[in-house]
Amino acid sequence: PTKQVCNFAEKGRTKHEEKTMTDEKDYSLLRHNTFGIDAKCKRFIEYNTVEEAQQVAQMLTEADRPLLILGGGSNLLLTADYEGTVLHSGIRFLEQIDECHVRCGSGYVWDDVVAYCVANGLYGAENLSIIPGEVGASAVQNIGAYGVEVKDLIVSVEAVELETGRIRHFTNDEC
């Protein structure tokens, strides 16, 4: 089978441009929550590669705590500014690795994964369409609808351990 890569270009960027890590103080979370609340966080870091995620893990200090790992912000109601550091994944890719499996970055929009799978005959996730959020939260939230749960579709998860910066691999049973 032919290996397919689907990288939806973001506004103003082609799929070949590299985006560098964002690290900003007093950052507005307006674009990062579906309620559209203009709360701020003390520090906002968006990493775009696994290597950057490892760098973030190494550079965090006690002064950066508390930490909030934020996806699409659809399960988040901000009632005040966040007095800590918000981490957000900008790892956005989707690749079809064989006839029935895809691999996705944690910052990839979940509904775009479902749309890709349906368009390419990779059935099983179609009942999970129109569920907001990003891939990274899907395993933690165990998104589900109409008798289908993402836990039944995930084969494995790769993560960066925040305490050490090590890459960890989890099987479906370990999730």
Q: Which helix (H) or strand (E) holds 37?
A: none
Q: 149: helix, coil or strand?
A: strand
**pLDDT of residue 79 exceeding 60:** yes
Q: Is 7 helix (H, G, I), strand (E, B) or coil?
A: coil
Structure tokens at 43: 């520090």
Average pLDDT of the residues in 24-37:
97
- Give pLDDT, residue 12: 38
On whether the pTM is more than 0.85, the answer is yes
Q: Are strands 101-104 and 94-98 parallel, antiparallel or unpaired?
A: antiparallel
Looking at every residue in the chain, the average pLDDT score rounds to 91
Give the model's confidence band at 6: pLDDT under 50 very low, under 70 low, under 90 confident, else very high.
very low
Query: For residue 45, what are the β-bridge partners?
Result: 23, 87
Q: Tell me what pLDDT residue 124 has.
A: 96
